[in-house]
Amino acid sequence: ETGRGRLVDPQVAFYMAEKAIYQPKSLSGLRVLVTAGPTREWIDPVRYISNPSSGKMGYSVAYVASLMGAHVDLVSGPVNLAPPVGVKLYKVETTSEMFDMVLELFPEAHITVKSAAVSDFKPSFTSSSKIKKEGLSQLTIELAKNPDILLELGRRKRQEQVLVGFALETEDIFKNAYKKLKEKGADFIVVNEASVGFGGEENEVAFVYPSGVVRFLPRFHKKKVAEEILKEANGIRIGRCY
């Protein structure tokens, strides 16, 4: 129903109340770009390559950035999450689609948080019809590299922009995260083990900086992790602007 007397959607009402009391409002007037979720790379019309990312971390970053006063653009792969209130959502499916959308939005962003768990590879060929198992003892799928979103953003980043990357590692966690940081040109990397964070409401991460310093965070709800990421990114931005 519409018209005078209609109740406000409960999610919107909760968001409005939370935003009214939320502190700090340190991102007021800023534009924040966030990527979230997995991507899908199709093998045929019914099969694809992907990963178990839920998108919750990225959605938390987008939502909290909005509470902190930012205009937020969220580029999301396929997830089973409600669109965050107060955020402009762009839905994509493949890594190439996310690449194109992010590059379009990036020039206006003051802070970019690339938390999406994109597929690094895609099938070199996608079958237009379902691949049948009859007559096949095995199936070999040739993979090609997808465009590297974080690397391209690092190349394009202006001095006043802040770029935050994510690294999900299974071994040599901080060594690999530091290598990624230096190669991609991010301002810091949020790193966690593959065994932590996927699908849950909490996350345990560390921030890795170009100096080699590592800042460990306790296990927090993902909204609290999001707040720490955004506060750190904005602190870097302020340090460059003044």
Q: Which residues participate in catalysis according to the annotation?
A: 51
Phi/psi region, residue 6 (left: phi>0; alpha: psi -120 to 50; beta: rest), is: beta
CA distance 23 to 99: 33
Q: Regarding beta strands 47-49 and 41-44, do their DSSP bridges make them parallel or antiparallel, or are they unpaired? A: antiparallel
CA distance 206 to 188: 10
Q: Regarding beta strands 206-208 and 188-193, do their DSSP bridges make them parallel or antiparallel, or are they unpaired? A: antiparallel
Which amino acid, 5? G
Per-residue three-class SS string for 174-229:
HHHHHHHHHHHCCCEEEEEECCCCCCCCEECCEEECCCCCEEECCCEEHHHHHHHH
CA distance 23 to 124: 48
